[in-house]
Amino acid sequence: MALHRLAPLAAICALTLSAALTAPAQAQVQAHSTATQQRAAEPYCATHKCIALTFDDGPAEYTNDLLKVLKKYKAKATFFLIGNRVQKHPKLAQNIVKGGHEVGNHTWSHKYLTDLEYKAIYSEVKKGQDIIKKTTGKTPVLFRAPGGLINDGVRTIIAKFGMYQIPGTVATQDYIKDYRDVEFLTGRALDIAGQDEVVLMHETVKQTAQSMSEVLKELTAQGYSFVTVSKLLEGQELVPGESYPEQLPLSGD
Ligand SMILES: [Zn+2]
């Protein structure tokens, strides 16, 4: 399959990162302990080439394979889970958290929220939140709307839960059937990868899970640190209900 070189959907990332500070000489470190403490508190991604890989729609049958390859490359990722799938596969959801990854809320049953009344949207979000919390012990602070579809009602509800919207900044578009080829999706992922990008993929797509070994190998060689979305956003002032990183909306599924 020919590899189309598509430009990242959002080339500009609005993350404001402070410039890396040069390492001072040992004597200076001792002389200026206050400055050293400030440097230690600097967000990890201000001084590292970070990328946040995200996997939607699970837990799914490829979750454990994915966790295995992420572990091999010491990569942390963010999984946007569907509530009724967490109910069906509690062990897989727990394995994700045990692996040190972040879990986000992707609603209870993956309905397009903009088709629903306020009360039904609230229920989709709350049921998703409750089952993730009950199953994994973690309360998600990240939310991703199915299809990336949001409106003011969604925004208000997400804010009530103290969550932030994470639509992603680039996508392999593995939801397109014709793209479901390991080599092609590997090329796509490497193509759209960039510093501080939030990459949207699906753990329900076998070829995505199979592509990760090569993708992680190559991106590791390029010096990337694979971090959770919360780690990527560290140091930013976040407003509940708003979308991060700030950028053009990305449609996904
Ligand atoms: Zn989805």
| pTM of the entire predicted model | 0.83
Domain that holds residue 16: 1-41
Q: How far apart are the CA of 55 and the centre of ligand 1, in A?
A: 9
Q: How far is the CA of 221 from the centre of ligand 1 (A)?
A: 30
Beta bridge partners of 79: 55, 103
Residue range 108-163, pLDDT digits in tens = 999 999 999 999 999 999 999 999 999 999 999 999 999 999 999 999 999 999 99
Annotated catalytic residue, options 89, 106, 202, 253: 202
Residues 157, 72 share a domain: yes
Tokens of 91: 């062990």
Q: Mean pLDDT throughout 178-203?
A: 97
- Predicted pLDDT of residue 246: 80
**Distance from the alpha carbon of residue 82 to the mean position of ligand 1, in angstroms:** 8
pLDDT tens digit sequence for 13-43: 333 333 333 344 444 434 444 455 555 579 9
226 in any annotated domain: yes
Q: Are residues 25 and 54 in the same domain?
A: no
56, 57, 174, 253: which one is catalytic?
56
Ligand 1 centroid, distance to 4 Cα (angstroms)? 24
- Tally of structural domains, the chain: 2
Identity of residue 155: R
Q: Distance, CA 25 to ligand 1 centroid (Å)?
A: 49
Q: For residue range 38-96, what is the model confidence (pLDDT) as tens digits?
A: 555 799 999 999 999 999 999 999 999 999 999 999 999 999 999 999 999 999 999 99
130 and 184 inside one domain: yes
159: in domain: yes
Residues 6+ apart with CB under 8 A from 241: 155, 156, 158, 159, 163, 164, 165
Q: Is the pLDDT of residue 192 over 50?
A: yes
56 flagged as catalytic: yes
CATH number of the domain bearing residue 65: 3.20.20.370
pLDDT for res 248: 55
